[in-house]
Structure 1
Amino acid sequence: MRITQGCFSFLPDLDDAQITAQVEYCLQNEWAIGIEYTDDPHPRNTYWEMWGHPMFDLRDAKGAMMELDDCRKVHGDKYIRINAFEDERGIESVQMSFIVNRPKDEPSLKMTRVDYVDRAQKYAWDVAR
């Protein structure tokens, strides 16, 4: 199963040149870049681990790509995403987020439906690797 979260998640994985182009777009919009990783990509898990600090003063995509390479060396078996933050006062939110690394074996989710009292239905997610 392929986890689909963030921008570009229904497309084939981006290569480094395409990731660089997206980071350059973010920097042109004066968005700060952050790199995060996790081994739990469940959609309700919004708290991924940060790799370093957000790069608020970054002006060149090469800096973000160097940090991404370092993160891949340490956490290459996990999901890694790039976030772009709008740091303008009053907004301060993620403007773009996309996955740039996936583990070789992605978990699969299985939904189980159980009939309950008065024809109500309950759902549960089972995670299998």
Structure 2
Amino acid sequence: MRVTQGCFSFLPDLTDEQITAQIEYCLGKGWAIGVEHTDDPHPRNIYWEMFGHPMFDLRDAKGAMMELEACRKAFPDHYIRINAFDSTRGFETVTMSFIVNRPKTEPGIRMTRTEVDGRSIRYTHSVQRA
């Protein structure tokens, strides 16, 4: 199963050139860049681990690509994503987020639907490792 979270997740994996182009777009908008990783792609796991600090003063995509490459070396079998933050209002708001690294084998996520009292429906997610 292919995890689909963030922008471009239904497209084939982005090349480094395409990732660089997206980072340049974000920097052109004045957005800060952050790199995050996780080994748990569960839909409710919204708190991925930050790799390094957000790059608020970055002006060149090469700096973000160096940070991404360091994260790939440290965590080759994790999901890694790039986040772009818009801090123009005095607080960081994720404006754009996309996955740039995936493990060789992605786990499946199973969703179970259960009807409970009062015609309510509850959903349970579980990760199925290969």
The TM-score with structure 1 as length reference comes to 0.92
1:45 shift after superposition: 1.1
Identity across aligned pairs (percent)? 70
Taking structure 1 as reference, are residues 89 and 122 closer, same or farther at Cα in structure 2, changes over 3 Å only? closer
Q: Give 1:44's aligned residue.
A: 44
Structure 2 counterparts to residues 71-82 of structure 1, below 5 A = 71-82=71-82
Rounded Cα–Cα distance in structure 2 between residues aligned with 1:125 and 1:65: 33
Q: Give 1:94's aligned residue.
A: 94
* Runs of at least 5 residues in structure 1 that lack an aligned partner in the other structure: none
Say if 2:42 and 2:109, in contact at 8 Å, map to a contact too: no
| Greater displacement, 24-33 / 106-115 | 106-115
**RMSD, aligned CA:** 1.6
1:49 shift after superposition: 0.5
The answer to whether structure 1 residue 123 and structure 2 residue 123 are counterparts is yes
DSSP-derived class of the 2:69 partner: helix
Q: Give 1:26's aligned residue.
A: 26
DSSP-derived class of the 1:21 partner: helix
* Runs of at least 5 residues in structure 2 that lack an aligned partner in the other structure: none
